[in-house]
Amino acid sequence: MLELTSLTKKFGSFTAVDDISMKVEPGDIYGFLGPNGAGKTTTIKMIATLLKPTSGRVVINGIDAHVAPEKAKRFLSYVPDQPFLYEKLSGMEFLLFVSKMYRMNGEETTGSIREVSEIFEVTPWLSRRIEDYSQGMRQRLVLAAAMLHAPKLIVIDEPMVGLDPKGAETFKEQVRLAAGNGTAIFMTTHQLSLARDVCTRVGIIKSSKLVYESSMEQLSGDGVEELERKYLELTS
Amino acid sequence: MMIRELVKTKLRLLYLEGGERMSRHLARSIFSVVTFAIFAYLTYTVIEFATRYLVVQARIGLFLYHRLLALALFVFFAIISIANILVAFVTVFRNTEAEFLHTLPIRPVEIFTSKFLDSFLYSSALMIILILAAIAGYAGYFGNPLVAGLGVIFSILPLILSAACVGAIVLLLVLKISHRISIRTAVLGVTLLYAGSTYSYVMLNNPFKLFNDVMKYYPHIDRYLGVLDPKLDYLAPSFWSANFFYFATTGNVVGAAASALIVCAVAASLFFVMIKLADKYYEEAFWTARHKLFERKVKYLEDPFAQEGQKLGKQVSLLKRDFLLFIREPSQTFHFGVLMILIGIFLLNLFEMRIYLPDTFIVSSAFTLIYAFNSFLVVSLAVRFVYPMLSLEGETMWLMRSSPVRLRNVFYAKLVPSIIFLTVVGAILGFAAPYPFRNFHGLIPNSVAYGLAGGIIFPSLVTIFGGAFVDFKEKNAVRISSSHGATVSLLVSIGVMVILSSVVFNQTIGYFSSKGTIPVDLSGAWILGLVGLACFYLARFFGVRALKTDM
């Protein structure tokens, strides 16, 4: 579903992402881990077509995302770490707007909005303006918008920002459910416990290079200790 | 088409703008509407009076009058175009909404079109109001409302659209070539291009030379004297826009229709070219803009510990912070550079220009016009750079409010340097203003005093509105300085400028009548000082109150 081939991004003499190759298959939940400044967000921005790679390719569902971005983005949902929301629109208006951008038809839209807003428990807030939402409520709305068009690939930068324990649990459930339905999920996180709870595979990036990749099954014990040990060993 | 949904959402957002607190919103709206109405009426009256004076009393003839109109429209064209470059850069390329839209499956050209319309409406609203009022004043004198109505639709609006399209095209090309040359070089090139073309146009159409040339045909000065037009003028849409009014007023329907057709065709062609270029280059230009933004983030900087030994006080630290934030923001430095170049060109012109006119009224009017233009430059600088200062503090309000810093000092760190800078600019402009006139030395003290006063009054005045209309959510200085509140502050400042200009006119007419033998009365200068002081204290009141607003 997502394939990165020798993905490199340079800013002058500085290499932010260096020759990263990886595949995320349908149903995979890929945890992209690494210290601050390692190149996670730059990689994610190239996947979301917000930055153009210096070399290499990003392929989404068989489509080169930088050759045919509009086509590729039909299968993608991107949730940034600081998502943009129209403060003056209501939650409902925002979801309707997003659905139109994905060319969803009327019936499909109503059903989907009802479903995702109930899942993320934003229904009572839908008629309020977004400027009245708390940070957690905003994150719920953004996640609901991301799930709205049943994407084949969801790319999430730090998904747990602002979520309360209930919201975090809902997120995990939904991610597992979406993956169970064949959606590929690529997310960055600093929470190793989240990676343990939901990811099927993890990769660690350090100083712009992918230095480690493993499936969770390959990690010994409950996974998190091994992952923590590996992470500290590779990034310290 | 998704563009329809995009535009629909944008229009809805435009309608909902600023509705967070009803009472405050209502007060702001009423104040804005009243200010707009007063300003529109003033513009109407001034244009109607100026037209009557030039045509009836000064008898410059309809041809020359419309050539002056062409000159004014060219300046408007350049201003709108430059404003659109800046607003489009922050709205179309460096904007969180543009980033969000790029993550959705929308054609880049549709994003560009919706954002272009957004920035066009945002940056041109005041110009449209101003021109509409001016055209009404024109129609008021000539008594032809139909011409005014048709002129707005077929001449002025297409002209404004053309200017905005030129700005967007220039911006797309700058970002396109910034792959090969640095963005600084490209921006410098554009700045020189605009400054050069404005300078050349004004030189080519020197009103004094044109006046002398037209007067050779006296008394047939209402006739179309196209033979006097420099051929290069045909390339300026503003020329055809003014021609429409000339032909329509003189009853030449074919000439008017042809001129309107040219203006509309130019606007349509430029819009088409812009969309075609956007279709081809916008995605790439967007990536270039983002690449440049990220490049700055990772660029190697000097040793951070080199500054460790510096022991700066709170006040100096605040000043240093604001200075660094200013010089490191390209959209700020670019616009500042353009305005400084324009002021430089204007100063050079003043020192070289010689105005020897026999009529005392016209000489005083010319001096007052120069004074008013000087003030307008100071007002422009104040609205563009001083007005946003309080709103920009929004990003670090959490820090300022939780630190042991007096908010009054934060306020002083913003306003005081601006006042110092603008009083220097005002004084230099005031010193240069009398140079084109005979016996100019006697005018210098008065002119400098008014320049100094403007340097205190105008930044203080815009800060009052910067505080009253503060918007801590908007992070972009260009958008803040194009906002509703900024427009109101501009209008009020222009109102004050008109009052000061009329005082200057009254004071200098006696001086010119006496051929410089009776000195200009400076005894009232203390009133200016009091006005400046009052504005400063009001600015402090509104500014500090804004900084104390609940977050």
Q: Measured between CB atoms, does B107 come within 8 Å of chain A?
A: yes
Neighbours of A218 (CB within 10 A): 11
Of A12, A50, A73, the CB nearest to B99: A50
Phi/psi-derived region of residue A6, left when phi > 0, alpha when psi is between -120 and 50, beta in every other case: left
- Partners of A76 on chain B (C-beta within 8 Å) are 103, 105
State how far the Cα of A223 lies from the Cα of A211, in Å rounded to an integer.
18
A103 and chain B: CB distance < 8 Å anywhere? yes
Cα–Cα distance for residue pair A140/A160, rounded to 1 Å = 10
pLDDT computed for residue A53 by the predictor:
92
If we measure between CA atoms, which residue out of B415, B386, B418, B370 comes closest to residue B493? B386
Q: Which tokens in the block code for residue A127?
A: 């008629």
Taking the C-alpha atoms of residue A137 and residue A234, their distance in angstroms, rounded to an integer, is: 36
On whether the CB atoms of residues B117 and B199 are closer than 8 A, the answer is no
Which residues does chain A have within 8 Å of residue B102's beta carbon, measured at their own beta carbons? 48-50
Rounded Cα distance between B390 and B489, Å, is 14
Would you call B395 an interface residue with chain A, using a CB distance cutoff of 8 Å? no
Q: Which residues contact B200 (CB under 8 A, 6 or more apart)?
A: none
Interface test with B, best of A10, A86, A109 (most B CBs within 10 A): A86
- Gap from B107 CA to chain A (nearest CA, Å): 6
CB distance A51–B294 less than 8 Å?
Answer: yes
A contacts of B100 (beta carbons < 8 Å): 83-84
Measured CA to CA, the distance from residue B432 to residue B448 in angstroms comes to 9
Reported for A194-198, long-range contacts at CB under 8 A and 24+ positions apart, including other chains, are A194/A31, A194/A159, A194/A160, A195/A31, A195/A33, A195/A224, A195/A227, A196/A222, A196/A223, A196/A224, A196/A227, A197/A172, A198/A29, A198/A31, A198/A172
Average pLDDT over residues A38-49: 90
Interface list for A 9-28 with B (CB within 8 A)? 11-12, 14, 16
Residues A121-140 have a mean pLDDT of 85
Please indicate if any CB of chain B lies within 8 Å of the CB of A36.
no
Chain B residue numbers with beta carbons less than 8 Å from the beta carbon of A98 are 104
Q: Please name which of A45, A48, A56, A49 lies closest in space to residue A20, comparing C-alpha atoms.
A: A56
* B13 and A CB contact within 8 Å: yes
Closest residue by Cα to residue B350 from B370, B375, B379, B364: B370
Contact of A81 with A56, CB cutoff 8 Å:
no
Helix (H) or strand (E) holding B338: helix B330-352
Evaluate whether A28 touches A181 at the Cβ level (below 8 Å): no
Cα–Cα distance between B28 and B477 in angstroms, integer? 20
| Cα→Cα distances A126→A78, A81, A120, B104, Å | 21, 22, 11, 21
Q: Considering CB atoms only, which of A48, A51, A76 is closest to B291? A: A51
Listed in order, strand segments (DSSP E) in B129-287 are none
Scanning every residue of chain B, which has its alpha carbon at the shortest distance from the alpha carbon of A93? B9
- Chain Cα centroid distance, residue A95: 18
Distances in Å between the Cα of B70 and the Cα atoms of B37, B155, B253, B263, B466 are 26, 12, 19, 13, 34
Verify whether the Cβ–Cβ distance B103 to A88 is below 8 Å: no
With beta carbons less than 8 A apart as the criterion, state whether B186 and B174 touch: yes
CA-CA distances (angstroms) from residue B486 to B163, B435, B456, B457, B469? 21, 33, 18, 16, 8
d(CA A105, CA A110): 9
- Sign of the dihedral through C-alpha A114, A115, A117, A118: positive
Token reading at B443 = 């005018």
Q: How many CA atoms lie within 13 A of B532 on its CB side?
A: 21
pLDDT at B20: 46
State the pairing for strand pair A184-188/A29-33.
parallel
Q: Which residue of A has its CA nearest to B290?
A: A51
Q: Do B298 and A50 touch (CB under 8 A)?
A: no
- Residue pair B191/B337 in contact (Cβ under 8 Å)? The answer is yes
**Is B97 touching A (CB cutoff 8 A)?**
yes
Rounded to whole angstroms, what are the CA distances from B203 to B197, B209, B362?
Answer: 10, 10, 21
Cross-chain Cβ contact B473/A42 below 8 Å: no
Q: What angle do helix axes B330-352 and B61-88 make, rounded to 10 degrees?
A: 160
Residue B421: which of B546, B319, B314, B316 has the closest Cα? B319
Q: Which pLDDT tens digits describe chain B residue by residue (551 residues)?
A: 567 777 777 666 665 554 445 566 666 667 767 777 777 788 888 888 888 888 888 788 889 899 889 988 988 888 888 878 877 887 777 778 888 888 888 888 888 888 888 777 766 666 777 788 888 888 888 888 888 888 888 999 899 999 999 988 988 888 887 777 776 677 777 777 877 887 788 778 877 788 888 888 878 888 888 788 888 888 889 999 999 999 999 989 999 999 999 999 999 999 999 999 999 888 888 888 888 777 766 665 555 565 555 566 677 778 888 888 888 777 788 778 878 888 887 888 788 777 776 678 888 888 888 888 899 899 989 999 999 999 988 877 777 777 777 888 889 989 999 999 999 999 999 999 888 887 677 888 888 988 999 999 999 999 999 999 888 878 788 888 878 888 889 889 988 998 888 888 888 888 888 777 777 777 767 888 889 999 999 999 999 999 887 66
Establish, for the pair of chains A and B, how many residue pairs have beta carbons separated by less than 8 Å: 83
Residues 6+ apart with CB under 8 A from B275: B109, B112, B113
User: Cα–Cα distance between B81 and B160 in angstroms, integer?
Assistant: 8
Of B5, B17, B99, the CB nearest to A97: B5
Please tell me if residue A70 touches chain B, with a CB cutoff of 8 Å: yes
Strand order across the beta sheet in which A2-11 lies: A14-24, A2-11, A55-60, A63-64
Residue B1 contacts A, CB cutoff 8 Å: no
Handedness of CA B306, B312, B315, B316 (dihedral sign): negative
The pLDDT assigned to B98 comes to 85
In angstroms, rounded to a whole number, what is the distance separating the alpha carbons of residues B245 and B152?
Answer: 10
pLDDT at res. B307: 56
Q: Inspect the interface and report whether the beta carbons of A52 and B108 lie closer than 8 Å.
A: no
Beta-carbon separation of A51 and B108 below 8 A: no
CA B67 to chain centroid: 22
B21: phi then psi, degrees, rounded to nearest 5: -130, 115
Backbone angles phi and psi of A11, in degrees to 5: -120, 100
End-to-end CA distance of chain A: 32
Residue A87 sits at the chain B interface (C-beta within 8 Å):
yes
Rg value, chain B, Cα: 24
Residue B319: CA atoms inside 13 Å, Cβ hemisphere, count?
A: 11
Is the distance from CB of B377 to CB of B425 less than 8 angstroms?
yes
Q: Are B379 and B496 in contact (CB under 8 A)?
A: no
Peptide bond between residue B237 and the one before it cis (omega within 30 degrees of 0): no
CA R_g for chain A: 18
Q: Which two tokens stand for residue A96?
A: 């309707």
Structure tokens at B107: 């054609």
Rounded CA-CA distance A3/A158 in Å is 21
CB B249 within 8 A of CB B144: yes
Give chain B positions within 8 Å (CB) of A51.
287, 290-291, 294
How many residues comprise chain A? 236
Residue of A nearest to B103 (CA): A48
Residue of B nearest to A74 (CA): B105
Rounded Cα gap, residues A5 and A55, in angstroms: 9
Kindly identify which residue of chain A lies nearest to residue B474, measuring between CA atoms: A87
ipTM: 0.75
The residue among B254, B211, B173 whose CA lies nearest residue B63 is B211
- HSE toward the beta carbon, residue B373, CA cutoff 13 A: 17
Q: Are A185 and A178 in contact (CB under 8 A)?
A: yes
Contact (CB, 8 A) for B110 and B6? yes
What is the C-alpha separation between B262 and B161, in angstroms, rounded? 14
CB A31 within 8 A of CB A195: yes
φ, ψ for residue B423, nearest 5 deg: -70, -35
DSSP assignment of A91-127: HHHHHHHHHHHTT--HHHHHHHHHHHHHHTT-GGGTT
Q: Tokens 């149903």 map to which residue?
A: A27
DSSP string, A179-231: HHTT-EEEEE-S-HHHHHHH-SEEEEEETTEEEEEEEGGGSSTTSHHHHHHHH
Burial of B315 (0-12, 13-18, 19+ CB in 10 A): middle
